[in-house]
Structure 1
Amino acid sequence: MNRKARAVWQGTGRDGSGHLTTDSGILSSTPYSFKTRFENEKGTNPEELIAAAHAGCFTMALAFQLQGAGFTPTELATEAVVSLDKEGEGFKISKSALTLQATVPGIDRTKFEELARAAEKNCPVSKVLNAEITMNFTLA
């Protein structure tokens, strides 16, 4: 399986701008720039997209872990916070912090944590990130 996205950039790093488009069309000429990355201008940035990918991947992986163990979640809500830090002359994504709120009928905390930790370690986005990954959860 392959998925594609395209980036087009015009101008310098600081003053230029670009747009991102995905084959699915969910991103369609979505703007990004220095200001959307390092300031708060409207648009997206690579770290936001990685955070969305990590939250989505982890949450789906957990749903599969729970299903395999015979549990059906009522809701799994995950926030991922990706940290971009200065490293030498450039920057590095140093951390992705996952915060999960879960409602899963009939599961105890120990079993849930076991399955959530497995999802944290084994989702494909976790495997590709060269960063510290943390996961905290609240089980209702």
Structure 2
Amino acid sequence: MPTRTSTARWQGSLKDGAGNMRLASGAYEGSFSYLSRFESGEGTNPEELIAAAHAGCFSMALSNVLGKAGLTPNSIETSATIHLDMPAGITKVELSTVGDVPGLSEADFIKHAEDAKANCPVSKALAAIEITLTAKLAS
């Protein structure tokens, strides 16, 4: 399997400094600061990028689980909300997913979503914290 790399550079003190994060693929580059991480400043933050990674990983894992069950989703839309509580750090992730999957009951969709949550690589990496899941079919 391939390895993935991202880089970050920080300059200055924690509260007055600023940084930049970049994906090696070039798909994303953005600034971050104390304000964007711990308050409401412009720019991104590590937790937002972890949330994006978790939402993407989970959506792909759920598509895989559904495929193994002989189902092809029209779409899966997932959001991930990261809770950063200092000084403890990241304490919780809330996943919320809506799937458009023809021929599937809501109960079976939830069962498949729970399987994906347990087996997505990012969920496994975050296993030390609480991960909750809300799953429903699109109306």
TM-score (norm 1): 0.93
Residue deviations 1:60-88, cap 9 Å, x none? Answer: 000000111111111111111000012xx
Letter in 1 for 2:109: F
SS in 2 for 1:102: strand
Structure 2 Cα separation of the partners of residues 19 and 10 of structure 1: 9
Distance 1:121 1:104 in 2: 20
RMSD of aligned residue pairs (Cα, Å): 1.0
Aligned to 2:37: 37
Q: Tell me, in whole angstroms, the C-alpha distance in 2 between the residues paired with 1:38 and 1:91.
A: 13
Q: Which runs of 5+ in 2 are unaligned?
A: none
Cα deviation for residue 110 of structure 1 reads 2.5
Q: How does 1:1-140 map to 2 (within 5 A)?
A: 1-28=2-29, 30-86=30-86, 90-129=87-126, 130-140=128-138
Q: Percent identity?
A: 46
Per-residue CA deviations over 1:73-131 (Å, capped at 9, x if unaligned) read 11111111000012xxx341000000111110001223222211110011000001121
Q: CA separation in 2, counterparts of 1:24 and 1:57?
A: 17
Q: Which runs of 4+ in 1 moved over 3 A?
A: none
